[in-house]
Amino acid sequence: MTSPSPVLNTVSRSSADCSDAGPGPGSAIIALQEIRKTYFKPDGSVMVEALRGVDISIEPGEYVAIMGASGSGKSTLLNVLGCLDRPTSGRYYLDGRDVARMNDDDISRYRGRKIGFIFQAFNLIPELTIVENIEVPLFYQGIAPAQRRETAIEMLSKVGLDERTDHRPSELSGGQQQRVAIARALAMRPAVLLGDEPTGNLDSKTGRDIQNLFQSLHEQGITILVVTHDPNVAQRCKRIIRLADGFVVEDRPVVN
């Protein structure tokens, strides 16, 4: 045989792109390779294998639902994706860099620049006005005050709340508070927006408003991954990844 097999071809091409051995992330914004997450008991024995060899590749601009029964590993996966937790083994390339090889300080800085989080419980700081809430991550990234204010107001206008800058979270409805949380997540212009059941605490009408906002962010090219139990939420995404017992059991485009 004179020509190498296609498999060898692929391996040699991608290892030339990347200083590490093995294939790199290619054009993916997120590339998980053989990710495992094991929770151990204090005596060192295995308690739960929450992720058992997960391979996922997400291209920039994708809009993805992560589904699965309670206990299937969704939150664990989101915590790994969001660099809040390290996998036990496997590779995680976020925007081209192997996060598993960074030290804790580098990871938290990188996370702050690359990841926007949205939680079910909004997690706003009650003592701060909504514009100040959005300024918090900008403060931690060392952005100057005038620039912080300008960006925060721009983000509030993106979510339709620029008239409410001086209100406190308690003066807003649940849906409005989640808009503030989304504005805060967008403030660092992250590469990826991650949501863990972001509409789980909202009534269905308000939930749909937030989904419309996600849809418009998706149309602006933002990469979005949301964990959801709700088939209606998932159906508005472009791809569904389903977990069961720590494995990806389904990964398919949504036809709509």
Ligand X SMILES: Nc1ncnc2c1ncn2[C@@H]1O[C@H](COP(=O)(O)OP(=O)(O)O)[C@@H](O)[C@H]1O
Q: Which is closer to ligand X, CB of 48 or CB of 84?
A: 48
Q: Which is closer to ligand X, CB of 79 or CB of 129?
A: 79
The two beta strands, 46-58 and 192-196, are unpaired
Site string for ligand X, 14-43 (x = CB under 6 A): -------------------------x----
The torsion defined by the Cα of 201, 207, 213 and 219, in degrees rounded to 10, comes to: 110
The torsion defined by the Cα of 42, 44, 45 and 48, in degrees rounded to 10, comes to: 70
- CA distance readout (Å), 186 to 167, 182, 191, 228: 19, 6, 9, 20
Q: Is 75 in the site for Mg ion (CB under 5 A)?
A: yes
Q: Is 222 in the site for ligand X (CB under 6 A)?
A: no
Choose among ligand X, Mg ion, none what residue 249 binds, the Cβ cut-off being 5 to 8 Å by kind: none
- Give CA–CA dist 249/239, Å, rounded: 13
Contact in structure between 31 and 55 (CB atoms under 8 Å): no
Q: Residue 56 belongs to what H/E stretch?
A: strand 46-58
Least distance (Å) between residue 171 CB and Mg ion: 30
Judged by CB under 6 A, which of 28, 31, 35, 50 binds ligand X? 50
Site size toward Mg ion (CB under 5 A) is 2
Contact in structure between 183 and 159 (CB atoms under 8 Å): yes
Q: Is 72 in the site for ligand X (CB under 6 A)?
A: yes
Q: Is 175 in the site for ligand X (CB under 6 A)?
A: no
Q: Is 73 in the site for ligand X (CB under 6 A)?
A: yes
Judged by CB under 6 A, which of 8, 46, 47, 144 binds ligand X? 47
Give the interface with Mg ion as residue ranges (CB under 5 A).
74-75
